[in-house]
Amino acid sequence: MTVQLDQIDLAILAQLQADGRITNVELARRVGISAPPCLRRMRALEEAGVIAGYRGLVDPRALGLTVVFFVFVQLDHQTETELAAFDARVAGWQTVRECWTLSGETDFLLKCVAPDLAALQKFIAELTATPNVRNVRSSLALKAVKNEATGYVP
C-alpha cells in the first residue's frame, strides 16, 4: 500500500532519518510548521506504517566487534518448512545483524559482525554444519563506502 506524502511529510521523514532524537519543536521549526501539526503528522506517518520505528544506531567497534563480513548461503531445499527453519536459526545468532532472502542461486545474504577472525571462523563452521545448508561463501568487509538508513526520501 502506497501512502500519499506531501513535501512536508517528506521533509519530516528526511529530518528524522538524519536525527531520530530531534525534538518535535525543533523538527517543526526545520520543516516550517508549528509543533502541534508536526506531531499529528508524525503520528499519522507512524500509524500508516511509513515510520516503522525508532532505534539507536550503535557502532559495533565500540562493542569490540571490529570484523564485519558478509555470508552468502545456499540451501539444499527451499521448501517453506526448510526456509522457516533456517529463518528461526538465524534469529538466534547474535553474529548476524541482517539477513536477506535473495533470488538466484544464493538463498540468503547475512551481514555479520565478530570481535576477531577466530570468532568469524567459528561462526562459519557452525553455519556450515547447519542442517540443509549446501554452500557457504563469505567475504570480509574492508570499509563502508555508504551506510544510510533503510528508508529513502526523495
Taking only the tens place, the pLDDT of each residue in 33-43 is 999 999 999 99
- Residues sharing a CB contact under 8 Å with residue 34, sequence separation 6 or more, in sequence order: 28
Write out the E strands in 4-107.
67-75, 96-101
Q: Output DSSP code: residue 50.
A: S
DSSP state of 53: -
- Going along the chain from its start, the domains and CATH numbers come out as 7-47 (1.10.10.10), 60-140 (3.30.70.920)
Q: Which residue has the cell 525534538?
A: 23
Summarised one tens digit per residue, pLDDT across range 91-140 is: 999 999 999 999 999 999 999 999 999 999 999 999 999 999 999 999 99
Q: How far is CA 57 from the centre of its chain?
A: 10
Distance, in Å, from the CA atom of 88 to the CA atom of 67, rounded to the nearest integer, reads: 24
pLDDT > 70? residue 45: yes
The more confidently predicted of residues 44 and 59 is 44
C-alpha cell at 47: 500509524
Which contacts of 31-36 are long-range, i.e. CB under 8 A and separated by 24 or more positions? 32/8, 33/8
**pLDDT the model gives residue 42:** 97
